[in-house]
């Protein structure tokens, strides 16, 4: 026990001592370079995010001015779009999306983490073939698979159920998760685990006590991505869901009506759908940023 | 330093026995149930004549023959290939550049990361509508204020031009997925060990040399995995293409996913659609396999 | 019995035999005359049915009326509204797979061919003839024709009721057409008065006249950007092909199939029609090849073009204060005819509500869909929606809610277009045929192919799909 702790501590210490915010090749030559890169990053971010900002403005813009040529920058905002979205009950869709995406991601993490670790660490027979099989479940276009799925689900009564949709999402999320986490697992330092085994830890305990904490950032990063995929998924949610399980992406086409597209309401829903994920990423980013090191890389 | 990912010695194998298999069992079983079963059913459907979603007579290979002889299928495969070959490397390159910049230590990083990540967080359908608002002929924001103002394109619009429509879609895809690459590669860069770089600095290596000799090989597994996954996903892009061009003008942007969509949801021709799914799967399987072997041997990634 | 007693009895009870006599000889006076949903639904009280319909303002008002039906009949109705794409995908998936979660589904006319061939629609003749279920006041002659019959009648049977009557109208900038300077210039150039186009040729002239570049004058003001005389749908898909076919080609005497259902894609009349349509691209915004039926109203609403042929329900969304700066400046007319043509055709899309073959409650479902299209329900519907919607009954045009709405011009236009619109041909492979042809037609519009070459290719491709295409 003591030996693992000391090993872990020394590893952390060495990384701590390597110092702060700048990481790798070419130490920062002081504030100017940093400022330059920051400016670059900000500019690049602004350009990339501009369309979204425009959409955010559209959430309160009166419809008559939306596509005015030339564009109108000054106008009296209207709460009409937000009001309409709330009245249509999109909040319920948001809730349902949270449930489906949350359950699906949780399942993926629980099932996929041990598998990724096992593939990285142990001499599993036919490992390459199994890994390719895992990937294979993702290779066919969902557009083609959705009707066979529908037919199977209709027969077993899984249509319009949370179970059904969560299971369907496993097809692409689980393979993604296993593959990405596998590459993170490979980068883990073996010494810690070997020390633990030397101390008499069972393989299971090694996994839970030693590996999982080290893997946490990788798990968080990958599971956030899986959550995003499940959150935004449309096709399966549409065909395999129904009235009871109407997620947010499926509710969006309701705004493309026979009277025209409700651009303002669409913008509201589009931006609102971002909020939960943006919050999650903002809060969890320090785990992702740290990567796999135990040390502190100040962000 | 022992290469990361080294597996314990042979003696370990005897000690751990069934344990690793127990670890992978839940994942394997789940994938067999939800991944394999529908796929096998699709294969089954592809060998039958499907009339109105009812399974008809055994059709042998006729669905496959019709598909492989259909020039429109090969055209859509070509469109998809061109799309993937342009969008993924571009997103990868930009994402890597972005990751390197982030890694340099910039201020406001904790704000920049989530904001920059917004495009990837958006639902593909919303992204499509957003870019329609930007690029629609005559009434789109960029169309009017940039393209028309500077007279860049006369006589047509971006999405109506057979030559440009696909590249517009590539732009949208790159816009949406570069942050994904950036974040994944950034996490990878953050996890790189310090020691080799210190040693290199001591040896007087330049930043470029350190990048080529250290960063790239160390990052290779992650880069390969991310690249491969994105390559596969790029072939499935549907919402953006459907909402922005509908596969047109003509068939200029009719990718494989649109080709299949038409057969499933417009024509209800489930036999050929199932055959297409299987053929695509086989093509990607061969590709993934080849990619994996190359990455393993040439790039030392696995 | 004594004679006196007999007389007493007869005096008290004489109405009874008299009534019986009358009832026997005058059948029309029987009490069954007062038919009601309540009575008709008695055997089905407590049952549940699920209906799938499309989300339109009218249908949303319908949703608010459904509880009244439930109260009166005791039948529970789950009335679900989905958007256009979803109604088609899910409705078809449900009916074709045999799942039967929906008892009644809304269908668009291009879907009829496939679903009739699959045999998943239940004819309603048995219910129409069933005195217990059939409402004597239904007045089927009141349904707008030729839409209703062309949609629901096939092979001697009736398959559902007309439920929604999409139609394309001519839509133009009234302010421009009535501007004195423009009128003078137009008369000078074309030798007739500027007015909403009644013919395709006039529409072309107006389009030519109003296509101006940035810097030129329009209605006394200098243009800050290019202006176009006409905008039409040009995307590959959507309803582009239908507009070409029904608003243009048919007016030249052409059609897709002959009387036997065999493809006649490249007959000379078709070529003439497509050519005419393609020429209009000269006067359209450059991005027309990407315009769907959603872009077209947006372009009009933003003042980029002078005329269009567009789906009338979009008008209801654009020509409202707050929705467009030009609200109130538009005028409407029926889809134009061909000055040199004999036949007249307009693009319409009659849609109907049908009973699924897999429904377990066909009678209860029939009662509901009958109630939906009943005169009283339709009246209430239009009153509730403030006159906004597309009628399925001729009597609706006379309702006060329509007569007093601000859209009287639009309704007159709708009425006109609806006179000449029929349902799509009942061809099971219609979507495939449409897909092939719309790409070719788009290429003609873009100037990449001549109409001759495109339609010749179209004929080959369609013949490869089906030698005899309609049922």
Partner residue facing C83 (CB), from A69, A150, A256: A256
- C93-102 average pLDDT score: 88
Partner residue facing B112 (CB), from A33, A42, A180: A42
Res C11: pLDDT: 62
Which CATH number covers residue A230?
1.10.3720.10
Tell me which residues of chain A have a C-beta less than 8 Å from any C-beta of chain C. 62-65, 67-70, 147, 150-151, 154, 159, 238-239, 242-243, 253-254, 256-261
Instruction: Give me the torsion for CA of C124, C130, C132, C136, rounded to 10°.
Output: 80
| Of the candidates B227, B245, B226, B222, the residue with the CA atom closest to the CA atom of residue B157 | B245
Number of domains in chain A: 1
Taking the complete model, does pTM exceed 0.90, yes or no? no
Please state, rounded to an integer, the average pLDDT across all residues of chain C. 88
Residue C281: is its pLDDT beyond 60?
A: yes
* Domain-located, residue A20: no
Assess contact for B139 and A260: CB atoms under 8 A. Answer: no
- B144-165 average pLDDT score: 76
More confident residue, C470 or A298: C470
Q: Which residue of A has its CA nearest to B279?
A: A140
Partner residue facing C96 (CB), from B247, B266, B268: B268
Give the whole-angstrom CA distance, residue B213 versus residue B223.
Answer: 15
Number of domains in chain C: 2
* Disruptive mutation site among B7, B54, B83, B118 for chain A (greatest number of A CBs within 10 Å): B118
Q: Is B137 on the interface with C (CB under 8 A)?
A: yes
Res C459: pLDDT: 95
> Positive or negative, the Cα torsion across A251, A252, A255, A257?
negative
Residue C8: is its pLDDT beyond 80?
A: no
Res C460: pLDDT: 94
Contacts across the B-C interface (CB distance below 8 Å): 109
Res A100: pLDDT: 93
* Disruptive mutation site among A24, A239, A265 for chain B (greatest number of B CBs within 10 Å): A24
pLDDT band, very low/low/confident/very high, at B235 (cuts 50, 70, 90)? confident
Res B155: pLDDT: 67
Residue C236: is its pLDDT beyond 80?
A: yes
| Of the candidates B85, B220, C44, the residue with the CA atom closest to the CA atom of residue A186 | B220
**A108 CB-near residues (< 8 Å, 6+ apart):** A170, A173, A174, A177, A223, A226
- A262-268 average pLDDT score: 87
Of the candidate ranges A112-121, A287-296, C324-333, the one whose mean pLDDT is the lowest: A287-296
Whose tokens are 């959705």? That residue is A146
**A206 CB-near residues (< 8 Å, 6+ apart):** A193, A196, A197
Nearest CA to CA, how far is A278 from chain C (Å)? 29
| Residue A111 belongs to domain spanning | 89-290
CATH 3.40.830.10 assigned to domain B53-297? The reply is no
**B144 CB-near residues (< 8 Å, 6+ apart):** A69, A70, A71, B138, C225
Q: Is B110 on the interface with C (CB under 8 A)?
A: no
Residue C360: is its pLDDT beyond 60?
A: yes
Domain ranges of chain B: 53-297
Region of residue B138 (phi > 0: left; psi between -120 and 50: alpha; otherwise: beta)? left
Res A207: pLDDT: 81
Per-residue pLDDT tens digits for A147-204: 888 889 988 888 889 999 999 998 889 999 998 888 888 877 788 888 888 888 888 8
- C279-285 average pLDDT score: 93
More confident residue, A194 or A257: A194
Residue C237: is its pLDDT beyond 90?
A: no
- Residue C199: helix, strand or coil by DSSP? strand
Partner residue facing C83 (CB), from A62, A150, A253: A253
Whose tokens are 């179970």? That residue is A163
Res A289: pLDDT: 61
Question: Is the bond into A245 cis (omega within 30 degrees of 0)?
Answer: no
Tell me which residues of chain C have a C-beta less than 8 Å from any C-beta of chain B. 88-89, 92-93, 96-98, 114, 117-118, 120, 225-226, 234-238, 285-292, 295, 298-299, 302, 304, 429, 431-432, 435, 439, 442-443, 446, 448
| Domain co-membership, C388 together with C458 | no
Res A22: pLDDT: 39
The rounded Cα C203 to chain-centroid distance in angstroms is 23
Assess contact for C256 and C244: CB atoms under 8 A. Answer: no
Read off the DSSP letter of residue C158: E
Q: Which residue of B has its CA nearest to C436?
A: B250
* Domain-located, residue C446: yes
Here the tokens at position A213 are 């904490």
Per-residue pLDDT tens digits for B41-87: 999 999 988 877 778 888 889 899 989 999 999 999 999 999 999 99
Res B225: pLDDT: 85
- Percent of chain B exceeding pLDDT 70 equals 92
| Domain co-membership, C109 together with C223 | no
More confident residue, C391 or B210: C391
| Domain co-membership, C441 together with C391 | no
| Domain co-membership, C342 together with C284 | yes
- Percent of chain C exceeding pLDDT 90 equals 59
Of the candidate ranges B16-30, C29-43, C66-80, the one whose mean pLDDT is the lowest: C29-43
Res C127: pLDDT: 92
Q: Which string of b and e fits B40-59 if b means at least 16 CB within 10 Å? A: ebbbebbbbbbbbbeeeeeb
- Residue B297: helix, strand or coil by DSSP? helix
Put simply, the answer to whether A69 touches C224 (Cβ < 8 Å) is yes
Residue A15: is its pLDDT beyond 80?
A: no
Backbone phi, then psi, for B161, in 5-degree steps? -95, 120
- C363-386 average pLDDT score: 91
- List, in sequence order, the alpha helices (H) in C3-160: 3-13, 15-25, 37-40, 57-73, 84-97, 109-118, 125-128, 147-152
* Domain-located, residue A82: no
* Domain-located, residue A41: no
Partner residue facing B160 (CB), from C225, C287, C432: C287
Put simply, the answer to whether A134 touches B27 (Cβ < 8 Å) is yes
Per-residue pLDDT tens digits for B250-285: 788 899 999 998 888 888 888 888 999 899 999 988
Residue C17: is its pLDDT beyond 70?
A: no
- A49-74 average pLDDT score: 84
Give the whole-angstrom CA distance, residue C430 versus residue B266.
Answer: 9
Q: Are strands C76-82 and C48-54 parallel, antiparallel or unpaired?
A: parallel
- C312-335 average pLDDT score: 87
Which CATH number covers residue C215?
3.40.190.10
Which positions 33-62 of B are in contact with C (Cβ < 8 Å)? 51-54
- Residue C267: helix, strand or coil by DSSP? coil
Q: Are strands B48-51 and B54-58 parallel, antiparallel or unpaired?
A: antiparallel
Residue C149: is its pLDDT beyond 60?
A: yes
- Percent of chain A exceeding pLDDT 70 equals 85
Res B4: pLDDT: 46
Per-residue pLDDT tens digits for B102-116: 887 777 777 888 888
pLDDT band, very low/low/confident/very high, at A18 (cuts 50, 70, 90)? very low
| Domain co-membership, C380 together with C302 | no
| Domain co-membership, C316 together with C369 | no
Res A114: pLDDT: 92
Residue C367: is its pLDDT beyond 70?
A: yes
Residue A112: is its pLDDT beyond 60?
A: yes
pLDDT band, very low/low/confident/very high, at C16 (cuts 50, 70, 90)? low
pLDDT band, very low/low/confident/very high, at B10 (cuts 50, 70, 90)? very low
Which contiguous run of DSSP H or E holds residue C352?
A: strand C348-356
Q: Is B83 on the interface with A (CB under 8 A)?
A: no
| Residue C265 belongs to domain spanning | 168-347+425-465
| Of the candidates B273, B236, B268, the residue with the CA atom closest to the CA atom of residue B255 | B236
Which positions 277-316 of C are in contact with A (Cβ < 8 Å)? 294, 297-298, 301-302, 304, 311, 313-314, 316
Res A296: pLDDT: 28
Q: Is B42 on the interface with A (CB under 8 A)?
A: yes
| Domain co-membership, C142 together with C268 | no
Res B3: pLDDT: 45
| Domain co-membership, C230 together with C268 | yes
Res C262: pLDDT: 92
Res C23: pLDDT: 53
Put simply, the answer to whether B137 touches C298 (Cβ < 8 Å) is no
Res A106: pLDDT: 94
- B230-249 average pLDDT score: 85
* Domain-located, residue C11: no
* Disruptive mutation site among C167, C324, C327 for chain A (greatest number of A CBs within 10 Å): C324
Q: Please report residues of B whose CB lies closer than 8 A to that of A204.
A: 19
| Domain co-membership, C287 together with C263 | yes
Per-residue pLDDT tens digits for C109-138: 999 999 999 999 999 999 999 988 999 989
Per-residue pLDDT tens digits for C46-94: 999 999 998 887 888 899 999 999 999 999 999 998 888 888 988 998 9
Q: Which residue of B has its CA nearest to A268?
A: B126
Put simply, the answer to whether A69 touches C314 (Cβ < 8 Å) is no
Put simply, the answer to whether C435 touches B266 (Cβ < 8 Å) is yes
Please state, rounded to an integer, the average pLDDT across all residues of chain B. 83
For residue C471, the tally of other CB atoms under 10 A from its CB is 15
Backbone phi, then psi, for C161, in 5-degree steps? -120, 150
Res A298: pLDDT: 25
Nearest CA to CA, how far is C381 from chain A (Å)? 17
Q: Is C80 on the interface with A (CB under 8 A)?
A: yes
Which positions 147-176 of B are in contact with A (Cβ < 8 Å)? 175
Res C15: pLDDT: 61
| Domain co-membership, C149 together with C173 | no
- Percent of chain B exceeding pLDDT 90 equals 19
Res A23: pLDDT: 43
ipTM of the complex: 0.82
Put simply, the answer to whether C89 touches B52 (Cβ < 8 Å) is no
| Domain co-membership, C224 together with C271 | yes
Residue A63: is its pLDDT beyond 70?
A: yes
| Domain co-membership, C324 together with C450 | yes
Per-residue pLDDT tens digits for C184-215: 999 999 999 999 999 999 999 999 999 999 88
Give the whole-angstrom CA distance, residue B213 versus residue B196.
Answer: 10
Residue A297: is its pLDDT beyond 50?
A: no
The rounded Cα C326 to chain-centroid distance in angstroms is 26
Put simply, the answer to whether C93 touches A239 (Cβ < 8 Å) is yes
Percent of chain A as helix, strand, coil, to the nearest 5: 75, 0, 25
């Amino acid at each position: 026990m003591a030996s693992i702790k000391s090993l872990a501590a020394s590893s952390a210490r060495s990384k701590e001592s390597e110092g702060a915010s700048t990481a790798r090749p070419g130490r920062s030559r002081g504030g100017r370079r940093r400022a330059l890169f920051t400016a670059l990053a900000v500019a690049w971010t602004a350009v990339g995010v501009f369309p979204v900002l425009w959409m955010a403005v559209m959430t309160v813009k009166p419809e008559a001015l939306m596509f005015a040529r030339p564009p109108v920058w000054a106008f009296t905002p209207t709460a009409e779009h937000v009001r309409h979205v709330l009245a249509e009950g999109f909040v319920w869709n948001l809730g349902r999306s949270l449930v489906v995406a949350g359950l699906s991601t949780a399942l993926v993490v629980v099932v996929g983490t041990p598998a990724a670790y096992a593939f990285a660490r142990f001499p599993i027979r036919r490992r390459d073939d199994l890994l390719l099989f895992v990937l294979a479940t993702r290779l066919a276009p969902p557009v083609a698979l959705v009707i066979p799925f529908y037919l199977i689900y209709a027969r077993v009564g899984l249509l319009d159920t949370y179970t059904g949709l969560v299971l369907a999402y496993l097809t692409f999320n689980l393979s993604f998760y296993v593959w990405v986490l596998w590459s993170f697992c490979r980068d883990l330092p073996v010494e810690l685990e070997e020390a633990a085994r030397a101390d008499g830890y069972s393989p299971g305990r090694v996994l839970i006590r030693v590996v999982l904490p080290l893997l946490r950032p990788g798990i968080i990063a990958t599971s956030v991505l899986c959550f995003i995929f499940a959150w935004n998924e449309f096709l399966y949610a549409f065909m395999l869901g129904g009235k009871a399980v109407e997620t947010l992406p499926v509710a969006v086409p309701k705004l493309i009506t026979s009277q025209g597209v409700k651009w303002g309401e669409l913008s509201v829903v589009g931006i609102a759908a971002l909020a939960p994920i943006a919050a999650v990423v903002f809060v969890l980013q320090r785990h992702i940023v740290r990567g796999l090191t135990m040390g502190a890389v100040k962000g | 330093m022992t290469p990361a990912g080294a597996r314990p010695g042979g003696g370990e194998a005897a000690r751990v026995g069934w344990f690793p298999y127990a670890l992978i069992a839940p994942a394997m079983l789940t994938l067999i149930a939800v991944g394999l079963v529908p796929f096998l059913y699709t294969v089954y459907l592809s060998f039958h004549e499907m009339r109105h979603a009812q399974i008809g007579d055994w059709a042998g290979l006729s669905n496959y023959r019709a598909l492989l002889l259909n020039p429109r299928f090969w055209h859509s495969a070509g469109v998809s290939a061109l799309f993937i070959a342009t969008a993924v490397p571009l997103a990868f390159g930009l994402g890597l550049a972005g990751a390197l910049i982030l890694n340099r230590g910039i201020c406001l990083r904790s704000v920049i990361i989530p904001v920059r990540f917004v495009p990837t967080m958006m639902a593909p359908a919303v992204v499509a509508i957003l870019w329609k608002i930007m690029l629609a002929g005559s009434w789109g924001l960029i169309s009017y204020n940039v393209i028309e103002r500077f007279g860049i394109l006369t006589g047509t619009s971006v999405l109506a031009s057979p030559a440009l429509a696909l590249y517009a879609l590539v732009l949208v895809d790159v816009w949406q997925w570069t942050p994904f690459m950036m974040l994944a590669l950034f996490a990878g860069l953050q996890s790189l060990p310090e020691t080799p770089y210190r040693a290199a600095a001591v040896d007087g290596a330049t930043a470029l040399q350190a990048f080529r000799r250290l960063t790239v090989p160390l990052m290779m597994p992650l880069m390969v995995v991310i690249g491969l996954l994105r390559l596969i996903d790029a072939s499935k892009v549907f919402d953006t293409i459907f909402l922005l061009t509908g596969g047109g003008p003509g068939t200029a942007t009719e990718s494989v996913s649109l080709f299949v969509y038409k057969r499933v949801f417009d024509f209800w021709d489930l036999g050929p659609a199932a055959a297409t799914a299987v053929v695509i799967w086989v093509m990607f399987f061969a590709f993934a396999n080849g990619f994996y072997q190359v990455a393993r041997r040439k790039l030392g990634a696995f | 019995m004594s004679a006196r007693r007999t007389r007493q009895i007869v005096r008290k009870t004489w109405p009874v035999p008299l009534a019986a006599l009358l009832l026997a000889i005058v059948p029309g006076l029987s009490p069954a005359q007062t038919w009601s949903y309540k009575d008709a639904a008695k055997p089905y009280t407590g049952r549940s049915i699920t209906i799938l319909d499309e989300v339109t303002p009218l249908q949303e008002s319908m949703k608010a009326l459904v509880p009244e039906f439930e109260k009166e009949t005791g039948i529970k109705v789950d009335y679900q509204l989905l958007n256009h794409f979803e109604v088609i995908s899910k409705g078809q998936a449900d009916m074709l797979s045999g799942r039967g979660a929906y008892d009644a589904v809304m269908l668009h006319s291009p879907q009829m061919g496939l679903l009739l061939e699959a045999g998943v629609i239940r004819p309603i003749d048995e219910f129409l003839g069933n005195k217990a279920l059939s409402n004597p006041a239904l007045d089927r002659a009141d349904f707008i024709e030729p839409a209703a019959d062309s949609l629901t009648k096939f092979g001697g049977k009736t398959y559902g009721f007309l439920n929604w009557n999409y139609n394309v109208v001519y839509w133009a900038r009234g302010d421009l057409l009535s501007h004195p300077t423009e009128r003078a210039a137009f008369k000078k150039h074309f030798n007739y008065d500027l007015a909403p186009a009644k013919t395709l040729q006039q529409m072309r002239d107006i389009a030519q006249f109003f296509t101006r570049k940035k810097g030129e004058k329009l209605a006394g003001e200098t243009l800050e950007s290019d202006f176009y005389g006409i905008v039409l749908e040009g995307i590959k898909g959507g309803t582009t092909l239908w507009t070409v076919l029904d608003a243009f080609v048919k007016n030249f005497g052409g059609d897709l199939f002959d009387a036997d259902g065999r493809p006649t894609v490249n007959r000379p009349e078709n070529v003439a029609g497509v050519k005419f349509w393609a020429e209009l691209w000269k006067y359209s915004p450059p991005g027309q090849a990407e315009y769907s039926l959603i872009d077209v109203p947006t372009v009009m609403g933003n003042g980029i073009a002078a005329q269009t042929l567009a789906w009338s329900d979009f008008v209801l969304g654009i020509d409202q204060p707050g929705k467009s700066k030009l609200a109130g400046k538009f005028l409407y007319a029926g889809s134009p005819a061909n000055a040199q043509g004999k036949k007249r055709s307009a693009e319409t899309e009659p849609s109907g509500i049908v009973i699924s073959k897999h429904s377990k409650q066909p009678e209860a479902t029939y009662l509901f869909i009958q109630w939906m299209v009943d005169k009283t329900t339709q009246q209430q519907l239009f009153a509730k929606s403030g006159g906004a919607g597309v009628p399925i009954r001729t009597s609706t045009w006379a309702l006060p809610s329509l007569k007093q709405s601000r859209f009287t011009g639009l309704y007159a236009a709708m009425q006109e277009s609806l006179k000449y619109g029929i349902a799509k041909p009942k061809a099971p492979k219609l979507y495939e045929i449409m897909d092939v042809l719309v790409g070719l037609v788009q290429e003609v519009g873009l100037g990449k192919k001549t109409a001759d070459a495109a339609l010749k290719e179209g004929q080959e491709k369609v013949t490869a799909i089906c030698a005899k295409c309609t049922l």
